[in-house]
Amino acid sequence: MTSGNLIRMGGGGDTDRLPGFEMYRLSTTEGRLLADGLRQFQVFTDGQFPQDVGRQSLLAQIVAEKLLAHAAPGLGRLMEKARDDLVDCIYVTNLPAERSTTSLLLLTLSSAIGKVFNYGSQDGGELGMEVTSSQNKAAGQRAELDWHTEGASIRRECRAEWICLLGIDNTTGIYTAYSPVKPVEQTLSSRTRAWLFSQSACFRTPYGSASDENSWSAPSAVLSRSPHGCTEIVWPSFAVRAAISDDALYTDALIELAAEINRQHLRVSVDAGCFLAFNNLRGVHMHGPTGDGYRLFLKTYVRHSLRTLQQVTGESGPIFALTEAGASQQNPPPRGGSNHMGSAMTRSSRRTSAEAQSAVWTAISMGHRYAESG
Ligand SMILES: [Fe+2]
């Protein structure tokens, strides 16, 4: 195991200081066995990665079951840890980088964690989404360059639990970063922690306008506890604002949260042959700027269970006709505090457009203030 592609961590270079993170470097023999196995399994589909997403998913599940543990037992054990939620982030290097088997490799590794799926609205409904740095520069994708979780408007039971990335091309020095929220939470002041756990924030829906009240979610908590007691975070980078207009705590709380995230995170380069998987409920991620360089990776969404997605859409998957904006309407009202929510929404709706604009806290501005502090 080496840290050759590990660029650095916020606050130091010791990976032991980031709980929930594990990395694995395949040996040359493991890499060869995996590459041979991927090619052989693809022979059954005429040497091509299947076009049909159902067949893609099935093939990947078979390969994950039959090949991984045999070709690279250490990698198989690490994937099990991710599947059992014993880790928040895994980073694997020295994987086969043959372009002809890249899609199968990504889906195989993703299938070892859980069920691979996608929303029909995203990337034409492909399971493996191609993401390039040129897309990052587009207006709708700038959020990727700042700390965020994905699917904030989608109810938890339908949101991606794990996000998996497999590098294809990456200019030296370009990084992707992840910060698990548990160690961050432990260092927050009690005042900030209380604010983040209460329904104090509203999130702007994707592509909504800051001045349109309909573009904002009901008051929600940034931090919450999972059914198993883990700390979870919802953090859409595009915009967060206080639920009430005269909230004196919210700027300080978000500044403190951003500062702690910048202090406690991991940066890795998702180069060709590198796989990064991180939990989207228990941490935030971002992609570093590319400058004049270039980045290309494939990405998947993974959940342990697709049952609620199947119930909500009436489809079997693995592609579901669910848009982020549509899914937000399926959100159940926040637990408890209905009076609070009502009053907050009423007060919120009295804002003038200028007040609403000035109340918008974008993570982009937060990123600029703290970009180099990690
Ligand atoms: Fe993202």
In tens, the pLDDT along 57-101 reads 999 999 999 999 899 999 999 999 999 999 999 999 999 999 999
Whether the per-residue pLDDT at 372 is higher than 70: the answer is: no
Q: If you measure from the C-alpha of residue 149 to the centroid of ligand 1, how many angstroms do you get, rounded to a whole number?
A: 6
Q: What per-residue string of b and e applies to 99-133 under the rule 16 or more CB within 10 Å gives b?
A: eebbbbbbbbbbbbbbbbbbbebbeeebbbbebeb
Give pLDDT, residue 324. Answer: 55
Q: Assess contact for 322 and 121: CB atoms under 8 A.
A: yes
Give pLDDT, residue 88. Answer: 97
Q: At residue 71, what is the residue type?
A: A
Q: What whole-number distance in Å separates Cα of residue 126 and Cα of residue 128?
A: 5
Rounded (10°) angle between helices 73-83 and 102-113 = 50
Q: If you measure from the C-alpha of residue 122 to the centroid of ligand 1, how many angstroms do you get, rounded to a whole number?
A: 13
Q: Which residue has the tokens 């207006």?
A: 139
Whether the per-residue pLDDT at 25 is higher than 80: the answer is: yes
Q: Which of 46-55, 141-150, 296-305, 362-371 has the highest mean pLDDT?
A: 296-305
Q: Which of 7-21, 122-136, 150-164, 211-225 has the highest mean pLDDT?
A: 150-164
Q: What whole-number distance in Å separates Cα of residue 151 and Cα of residue 130?
A: 18
Give pLDDT, residue 102. Answer: 95
The structural domains of the chain, with segments of one domain joined by +, span 6-179+267-328, 182-260+339-370
Q: Assess contact for 348 and 245: CB atoms under 8 A.
A: yes
Q: At 262, phi and psi to the nearest 5? A: -70, -25
Q: If you measure from the C-alpha of residue 143 to the centroid of ligand 1, how many angstroms do you get, rounded to a whole number?
A: 8
Domain 6-179+267-328 has CATH 2.20.25.90: no
Q: If you measure from the C-alpha of residue 71 to the centroid of ligand 1, how many angstroms do you get, rounded to a whole number?
A: 30
Q: Assess contact for 1 and 23: CB atoms under 8 A.
A: yes
Q: Assess contact for 309 and 114: CB atoms under 8 A.
A: no
Q: If you measure from the C-alpha of residue 37 to the centroid of ligand 1, how many angstroms do you get, rounded to a whole number?
A: 31
Give pLDDT, residue 182. Answer: 94
Q: If you measure from the C-alpha of residue 238 to the centroid of ligand 1, how many angstroms do you get, rounded to a whole number?
A: 11
Instruction: Measure Cα distances from 215 to 153, 207, 211, 296 in Å.
Output: 11, 8, 8, 31
Q: What whole-number distance in Å separates Cα of residue 358 and Cα of residue 252?
A: 15
Cis peptide before 332 (omega within 30 of 0): no
Whether the per-residue pLDDT at 32 is higher than 80: the answer is: yes
Distance between alpha carbon 107 and the CA centroid of its chain, in Å?
A: 16
Q: What whole-number distance in Å separates Cα of residue 318 and Cα of residue 119?
A: 8
